[in-house]
Amino acid sequence: MLSFPFYKPFLRRRTWQWLVPILCALLFLVTVIWLPHQAQQLESTERQEQQIADTLWVEQTIRFQLGRNEDDIRSFAGQIAAGHLAGDKLRGRMRFLLRNHPEFTRIAWIDARDNGTSSDRQDHFSLEDLPAPLRLKLGRIRGTLAPEYSLPEPPDETRLPALMDYLFPIRQEGRYAGCVIVTYSLAGILDQMVPWWFAQKNEIRLTDRNERTLGQRTAGGEGRGVYTYAHDLHLPYTDITLRTDSVKGAPNLLPNLLIVVIVALTLGLFWSLAALWRDITRRMTVERALREQIAFRTAMEDSLVTGLRVYDLKGKITYVNPAFCRMVGMPAESLIGLSPPMPYWAPEIMDEYRERFAQRIAGKIDSQGFETIFLRKGRERFPVLIYESALVDESGRQTGWMSSILDISDRKRFEELNQRQQEKLQASARMVTMGELASTLAHELNQPLAAITSYTTGALNLLADSATPQDEAGMARIRGALEKANAQAQRAGHVIRSVHTFTKRREPRRETVELSALIADVVQLAELQASRHFITIKADIAQDTPAVQADPMMLGQVLLNLTRNAIEAMRDMEPERRVLLIGAGADPLAPGSVSISVADHGCGIPPHARERLFSPFFSTKADGMGMGLKICRTVVESHGGTLTYADSPGGGTVFRFSLHAASPAKT
């Protein structure tokens, strides 16, 4: 057989067939031998760590309770220092503290003259009645004025159990005024401050620096000496250590461990096969669901009207959806991979694009969104609204930026249409206002025209009666009459021009407006209606009131509407209350702004009308259109202000709004 050429490969294959199972068996045997000892070591380590953690927790519990006791003693000492406790009342409070704190065995008070009162004696005692170590402690406390714990002596036949004193000095005006001495039973500390469940599992001792036992609690029996731990209580001027010894012994090896391991490994093998089959089935299900989700997301993205665009950290486009491609008129293949400048950026605002792109790369993203202009197929411009946010992967790491782009061409057209409708509505409101003023205007113009007629007639008569035209006195009277006639004619012309300007329709424009001149024009128009109801209009304009940047016609309409509302509110009031005040001055609450107010002394705004006061087509007047205050608020808000109202302190209502002051002209 050795002469066959195929024997050596067969022998090598046969050797590996035996060697692999043997190696596996040896590995399994080593595992079976090593695993129990490792498990025992891990369990022992875990028990020791638990012993340390429990001991530290108990130590913290004792320290916390001692701290609470110190707070009670501090409060008790404070009452003594304040003179609230003396004689029987002092002993009563000591007995009360002893009942509430079973770990206390005695409470004593020694004043600055070394006269003492104790909870366990009816008579007083002196400093000489105290043990020598305690007297030394008192002597040191007189100088330090700091609380201390005394070092307890180990218990013997005469000292059972070991006691520890806590001395708390009292100071008054920086001087020693006495000391409160509280005596602890160390066994009482263990009985009262150590939880019962910990005491059932451990032998607990308090020892001094020489490891002599000062107090002991063995509710669960003697410790085994396997799991132990010691920790200092860190009490001032004393060394006391908390020592714990678990009643548990070292862990034992499991019986019949080999059989248990073999059965467990066999079961684990079948469980692994079942788990593998289940994992494969779940993976196939997840992959099928993932494909469906990808198809659904693709269909959803293709049907969106909102453009989506993704940048990487270097500013290169990595993804665009079909909606964005339709917006800019370019296919996705031409867009992906592009870096700034982009072909859909408008040339006239290229600097703005570059600045925003630099801010995005720096991580500064405007979460409120911003408007800009894009190019469609390189020619047609259209407005867009862009929202951007950081793109974060599943690990929380930023990989780029996500942009949502909305084509707002239709919204812009609607806003322009709404603006034109608003202008028409304002023009209609002005015409309604002037229609109401028409009758008063005719009456008002008749007065200056009649005066002009009278003065000119008188001038003619003076010229006819004067025998000597060179007479200086006669000429002076003629000149005065003619000057008065000229003034009245100018007044009539000013009134007519104001009405013409107010009713004239024009495009809105912003310019620097002097409030004193604007309010004077409004007052002159409003006096036509105010005089019929015997209402006085006063203007209070501060001297340092700056000019504002506004449309003078729209601002005049706001003031005239508010003034007319104020006149209507006061027409049925007592004569002395018919005073309308128009005020203007720098706004103290908003630097760089001007506050304008219109105040009346009318009946105020009814409670039921406050919520709907600025609603369109709502009016408290029977013949009102319900658009006046709505228009006023719209105009003020278009100038960057807010129209508000409040009750006037003297009765009535104050309408107030603020406008930005005009910037001073640069020289």
Res 168: pLDDT: 92
* Domain range summary for the chain, segments of one domain joined by +: 50-249, 257-300, 304-407, 409-505, 508-667
Q: What is the DSSP string of 334-346?
A: HHTT--SSPTTB-
Average per-residue pLDDT for the chain = 77
| pLDDT value of position 477 | 64
CA-wise closest residue to 138 among 166, 117, 119, 173: 166
What pLDDT score does 623 carry?
47
Q: Which two structure tokens, joined as six digits, stand for 165?
A: 């004193």
Same fold, 50-249 and 304-407: yes
Is pLDDT at 327 greater than 70 in this prediction? yes
Two structure tokens written together for 248: 């548990």
User: In Å, what is the CA distance from 400 to each residue of 314, 361, 391, 648?
Assistant: 8, 9, 5, 57
- In this predicted structure, the answer to whether residue 5 has a pLDDT above a threshold of 60 is no
Question: What is the number of other CB atoms lying within 10 angstroms of the CB of residue 321?
Answer: 20
- CATH numeric code, 50-249: 3.30.450.350
Amino acid letter, residue 163 = L
What CATH homologous superfamily does 304-407 map to? PAS domain (3.30.450.20)
pLDDT value of position 179: 92
Number of alpha carbons in the 13 Å side-chain half-sphere of residue 575: 3
Instruction: Give me the phi and psi of 310, to 5 degrees please.
Output: -125, 130
- pLDDT confidence of residue 107: 92
| pLDDT value at residue 217 | 87
pLDDT tens readout for residues 422-443: 766 666 666 666 555 655 565 5
Written out in words, the top-level CATH class of the domain with range 508-667 is alpha beta
Instruction: Give the span between the Cα atoms of 651 and 482, in whole angstroms.
Output: 46
Tell me what percent of the residues of the chain surpass a pLDDT of 90.
5
In tens, the pLDDT along 176-197 reads 889 999 999 888 888 888 888 8
Query: Using CA of residue 382, residue 386, residue 392, residue 394, what is the dihedral sign?
Result: negative
Q: In angstroms, rounded to a whole number, what is the distance separating the alpha carbons of residues 197 and 108?
A: 34
Find all residues with CB under 8 Å of 61, minimum gap 6, and list them.
193, 194, 195
For 451-481, write each residue's pLDDT tens digit: 676 667 766 666 666 545 556 666 666 666 6
The confidence score (pLDDT) of residue 28 equals 64
64 pLDDT band, cuts 50/70/90, is very high
Asked if the model's pLDDT at residue 649 lies above 60, the reply is yes
What is the strand order of the sheet 241-246 is part of? Answer: 213-217, 202-207, 241-246, 228-232
Residues 652-662 pLDDT 10s: 889 989 888 88
266-280 as b/e, with b when 16 or more CB fall inside 10 Å?
Answer: eeeeeeeeeeeeeee
Q: What is the C-alpha to C-alpha distance for residues 398 and 376, in angstroms, rounded to an integer? A: 31
- Least confident segment among 9-13, 48-52, 168-172, 188-192: 9-13
Bridge partners (DSSP) listed for residue 657: 596
List the structure tokens of 342.
């982009």
Q: Which residue has the higher pLDDT, 476 or 537?
A: 537
Tell me the mean pLDDT in the region 43-67: 88
Q: Classify residue 81 as exposed, middle or buried by CB count within 10 Å of its CB (0-12, 13-18, 19+).
A: middle
pLDDT digits (tens, 9 = 90+) for 116-158: 888 877 677 887 878 888 888 888 888 888 898 888 877 765 5
pLDDT digits (tens, 9 = 90+) for 582-599: 999 888 888 888 999 999
Q: What pLDDT score does 182 carry?
A: 92
Condensed to tens digits (0 to 9), the pLDDT of residues 606-643 reads 776 666 666 554 455 544 444 567 778 888 888 888 88
Sequence-distant (≥ 6) Cβ neighbours of residue 247 within 8 angstroms: 201, 202, 203, 220, 221, 222, 223, 224
> Is the pTM for the entire model greater than 0.85?
no
Domain 409-505 classification at class level = mainly alpha
- State the average pLDDT over residues 338-357: 81
